[in-house]
Amino acid sequence: MPELNDLVRQGASVARVAEYLDGLTHEERLRALSITTRAVQRTLYNAASASPPLTLDFFVPGGTPPRVAVHHKGRNSLPLPPPLRVFEKRFAAPEDGSARLFGYNEGLTRAWIGPGYFVAVPTAGNAAWQERGAIVIDYFQVPDGPVPDGWPNVVPNSQGLQSVVYAGTRDFMRRVSKDVSIGAAFKGEKALDHYFTLCREPRGG
């Protein structure tokens, strides 16, 4: 069986990559994603422009009650020690029923730089943003309503060390497979050439 890195480097279509990932167990998917390089993530993000657009229910499946968290395991391409490249983005639908999701970043770095709260919204209506992905994780916004029990206190991304990492940032998301998405980070309107994969945890995971 080929590795994900090999498939992407060989120019496989995103449909072929999706077929490969969907044929793996959840743990196998996480292992495959855990060794992707920045170059592979960049190529995969570009290939994923051919995927069907993401919707909010990719991140929080329909039928999930408000304020119930859905975890997505992440792996980024930043030049950090391997343990610090691993994180989770946790999403939840708000109580007000609006077309958005609340979320934050969980991982080893949270104790140092904070939770990095965000609001995820569709990019429809902004042509430049739509080209980057159908959903944007927007750190210019933080939740303005109740979040799930047990989540850290909501703080603005202008506060403390968060301002270095999250302030002024947006992540544009594309679909890779049934459970996997990929994001590209932008500072304002400038592409940072940094990417990350997310893999949705099974229900109850």
Q: Please tell me the distance from the alpha carbon of residue 196 to that of residue 112, in angstroms, as a whole number.
A: 20
**pLDDT for position 2:** 67
Please list the residues that pair with 71 across neighbouring strands.
90
Q: Which range (21-30, 49-58, 72-81, 191-200) has the least confidence?
A: 72-81
pTM: 0.94
How far from chain centre, in Å, is Cα 85?
Answer: 13
Q: Please tell me the distance from the alpha carbon of residue 103 to that of residue 147, in angstroms, as a whole number.
A: 8
Are 122 and 56 contacting, i.e. CB atoms less than 8 angstroms apart? yes
**pLDDT for position 77:** 82
pLDDT of 205 strictly over 50: no
Q: Please tell me the distance from the alpha carbon of residue 97 to that of residue 144, in angstroms, as a whole number.
A: 13
Q: Please tell me the distance from the alpha carbon of residue 183 to that of residue 175, in angstroms, as a whole number.
A: 9
pLDDT of 193 strictly over 80: yes
Share of the chain above pLDDT 90, in %: 83
Are 165 and 187 contacting, i.e. CB atoms less than 8 angstroms apart? no
Beta-carbon contacts of 166 under 8 Å, excluding residues fewer than 6 positions away, are 105, 113, 114, 116, 118, 139, 157
The per-residue pLDDT of the chain, averaged, comes to: 94
pLDDT of 184 strictly over 70: yes
pLDDT of 30 strictly over 60: yes
Classify 8 as helix, strand or coil.
helix
Q: 137-170, pLDDT tens digit by residue? A: 999 999 999 999 999 999 999 988 888 889 999 9
Q: Where are the domains of the chain?
A: 4-200
- DSSP code at position 134: S
User: Which residue type occupies 47?
Assistant: A
| Distances 94 to 106, 112, 170 between C-alpha atoms, Å | 19, 27, 20
How far from chain centre, in Å, is Cα 128?
Answer: 19
**pLDDT for position 43:** 97
pLDDT of 14 strictly over 80: yes
Q: 64-87, pLDDT tens digit by residue? A: 999 999 999 999 887 777 777 789
| Distances 2 to 8, 178, 205 between C-alpha atoms, Å | 10, 19, 27
Beta-carbon contacts of 103 under 8 Å, excluding residues fewer than 6 positions away, are 59, 89, 90, 91, 92, 117, 118, 119, 120, 137
Count the neighbouring beta carbons within 10 Å of the beta carbon of residue 118.
26
**pLDDT for position 140:** 97
**pLDDT for position 157:** 95
